[in-house]
Chain A
């Protein structure tokens, strides 16, 4: 289980701006169903608190949404998107499930470890990177891939992975998405079907 961090802050309060956002989120749900807002509210709390959820934040969320605290703990400990301990500025999550593994996710994990000088599950000394293995993130068509904070980096190989990490280290903003040059998840070797607009040649003859 994700272990709760030992040094917990005493209290947590949403910033006035975020509190407004919380109200907007809660307003999306019918009256009496505020508990439904637990995921977005926790996410907001995590973003406000440098990427992790202290217990005080979960308790505050429970209070705002009128839920028993244990119900919030259950949610926060269930989803891998919620971190219950402090985390690096960049959370590098490499998918190591089957499709990514077939396409070389082991090499991606390896280059991450070498570049950052840490093993999976650790955070760099400067507090910049946390490396973890993730279960399928749903981008198998662009395997192997990793997620850094909110961005997907896809079609990785050792070189592209390293350059992404180095760019982040230097404070640059690497381009998210497929690194091999293709757009989205279109076929890697160029289009194989629907190459032409109907009736304008190239395609199979309409009969």
Chain B
């Protein structure tokens, strides 16, 4: 380990670190713009200059690796002067429009100018002006503010893997942009807004709506996919103003997808803010008491066996547990959380988890994707696959539709028979998996929601077992299910599936159509075919006027994920807590409280009155809920079916990344993205292979 002296302190650091990183380790802050720990080193802003003994010139600390015996000084008058000089150069062409700049208040340049800027300019000439660039509906550009740190270019090229940004021209004429008029097609493009150290790239939907110091941050988790990205919800008064990522090394690092970041305007539109009851074919506003009375009457008339409940993709674990226990109280065995019909079974936890964990992808040696398109289903997880791919020696095979996943793959075909061959060991890719150290596979919902899903799951288990993916000694489990719904793992953990002799989703829908099911309780379930509900009496508890609400006979307004303290379990099986950032609109209430109140009216009161009591109950229902933010390795075992697989090609579960749930479908921003990227010209050439 190199030993060096920084500001008179002797420090030992690992070899390969840069001076800047070494300084950060011992708590010395070096100002910088272009350096970013998750991107390659550019060394072009020059802000991080430090003095090094026996070097004729100052060195850029972000680009200089540590070496034994180095003597570094970061706090001498000379260093201060160098920083002031660099800052003065940066400010020569930077406009003084901080009062109207959205970055104002959270701008690296502004902050560092306070430390190193002069209070007046010595520059009397005209400032450089740059034409703004078009980068799509999400990113607003004010390119005159750009200081050419190239972080955005490096992010799009390295992390997102969609090289569309570059620096054209040279010297003073250098400009960052796409050169050709073109929207950025990456699902992670919004992250360049966070990376931009100045106000050159800002959020277009957020433009001029709030100042950073007016916002009230709440640390929460995202529910728009099953990754469970850690987010910060910034609210002002009763309104969510924006969503930003929070660092979580094991989940999302510091990235979030564009849907997570920009779908928040959907939280303000099409909201259900009061109960509604259908009378004579028309939904009419009602009071909670009325609505509950109507529900109670119908449930009483129907009797337990003729009542069914379906939990949707965004439901929190608390409300699912409350609904499950309410159904138990009503003696109804018909409940299901797999509204997409996935052939997953809650008995063995390892059978429905992303066992490798997201961070574990980085240790994998080969990967097989079965019926999944991670770029669309979980963009942040896909970035992790790309990160592993970029390290090298990571063969990836794809069975199913192969679009551009941002890394090279071997397309093994769309025919599910291929996995049969791999399981039997007769396919050459089976050898690739066997040869690799720590191989992994990912089964997507595109494979599991098929009628032969159980057989595919069983086949995937056999591949995992025969190709060395299950290694208890090394603690390696390479079998992974990639979910698309934030509620799914939680629902399975709670056993929100048919009880003995109960009907599953298919049975409920058939029963409703045939008239065997009288009451269907939808807990935010919008992705089922509502026409199949027949003449059943439908109670919809949820937050958006989407498909479910349109079909409902009684609407009970619930809370969206930013409006309740809810527990979610991500695809890895990581229990995380979302937190209330704003209160639900109008008369809407937190979902578990609605169910608790309804249980009283139904005469089957649930045994908890506070969130604390309910959470204790959660832990009782399944001990995994006791440990928040921990992935507990799940035991391996037998699961999946034995049957033959159908030869029909895999169909991706998500055909439109931007519109997947009631929130994003209500979002204008997402609608615009869908128009541009999916149905527009870019969609035709870019996303379809």
Which residues of A pack against B, CB within 8 Å? 1-2, 4, 55, 68-71, 73-74, 77-79
Q: Is the CB of B179 within 8 A of A73?
A: yes
With a CB–CB cut-off of 8 A, which chain A residues contact B166? 70-71, 73-74
Give the residues from 144 to 180 in chain B that come closer than 8 angstroms, CB to CB, to chain A: 157, 163-170, 173-175, 178-180
In the complex with contacts A70-B178, A70-B179, A1-B168 CB distance below 8 A = yes
Contacts of B167 in A (CB 8 A): 74
Q: How far is the CA of A185 from the CA of B164 in the complex (A)?
A: 46
Q: In the complex, which residue of chain A has the Cβ closest to the Cβ of B170? A: A78
Q: A1-B175, A55-B180, A77-B179 are in contact. Are A70 and B165 (CB under 8 A)?
A: yes
Quick check: B169 and A2 within 8 Å, CB to CB? yes
Complex CA–CA separation, A55 to B174 (angstroms): 18
The answer to whether A77 and B168 touch across the interface, beta carbons within 8 angstroms, is yes
CA–CA, A70 and B157, complex, Å = 10
8 Å CB contact of A1 from B157, B164, B165, B169: B169
Q: Write out the residue numbers on chain A whose beta carbons fall within 8 Å of the beta carbon of B164.
A: 68, 70
Q: How far is the CA of A4 from the CA of B177 in the complex (A)?
A: 14
Chain B contacts for A2, CB-based, 8 A: 169, 173
The CB with the most chain B CB atoms within 10 A, among A1, A4, A74, is that of A1
How does the 8 Å CB contact mask read for B331-374 relative to A, with 1 for contact and 0 for none? Answer: 00000000000000000000000000000000000000000000
Number of B residues near A (Cβ < 8 Å) is 15
Nearest B residue to A2 via CB reads B169
| Chain B positions within 8 Å of A55 at CB level | 180
Which residues in A have their C-beta under 8 angstroms from that of B168? Answer: 1, 73-74, 77-78
Q: Which residues of B contact A1 (CB under 8 A)?
A: 168-169, 173-175
Q: List 27 A-B contacts (CB under 8 A).
A: A1-B168, A1-B169, A1-B173, A1-B174, A1-B175, A2-B173, A4-B179, A68-B157, A70-B164, A70-B165, A70-B166, A70-B179, A71-B166, A73-B166, A73-B168, A73-B180, A74-B167, A74-B168, A74-B179, A77-B168, A77-B169, A77-B170, A77-B179, A78-B168, A78-B169, A78-B170, A79-B170
* Closest-CB distance, B430 to chain A (whole angstroms): 27
Instruction: Beyond the given A73-B168, A74-B166, please list 11 additional residue pairs across the A-B interface where CB-CB is below 8 A.
Output: A1-B174, A1-B175, A2-B169, A2-B173, A68-B157, A70-B166, A71-B163, A73-B180, A74-B167, A77-B170, A78-B169
Q: Closest 6 A-B residue pairs measured CB to CB? A: A1-B169, A68-B163, A70-B166, A77-B168, A73-B179, A1-B173
CA distance A78 to B172 in the complex (A): 11
- The residue on B at minimum CB distance from A70 is B166
Contacting residues, chain B, for A71 (C-beta < 8 A):
163, 166
A74 CA / B148 CA spacing, docked (Å): 14
B157: A residues at CB distance < 8 A: 68
- Residues of B close to A74: CB separation below 8 A: 166-168, 179
Q: Which residues of A contact B163 (CB under 8 A)?
A: 68, 70-71
Residue on A nearest B179 in the bound complex, by CB:
A73
User: In the complex, what distance in Å separates the CA atom of A71 from the CA atom of B165?
Assistant: 9
Name the distance in Å between B149's Cβ and chain A's nearest Cβ: 16
Query: What distance in Å separates the Cβ of A35 from its nearest Cβ neighbour in chain B?
Result: 12
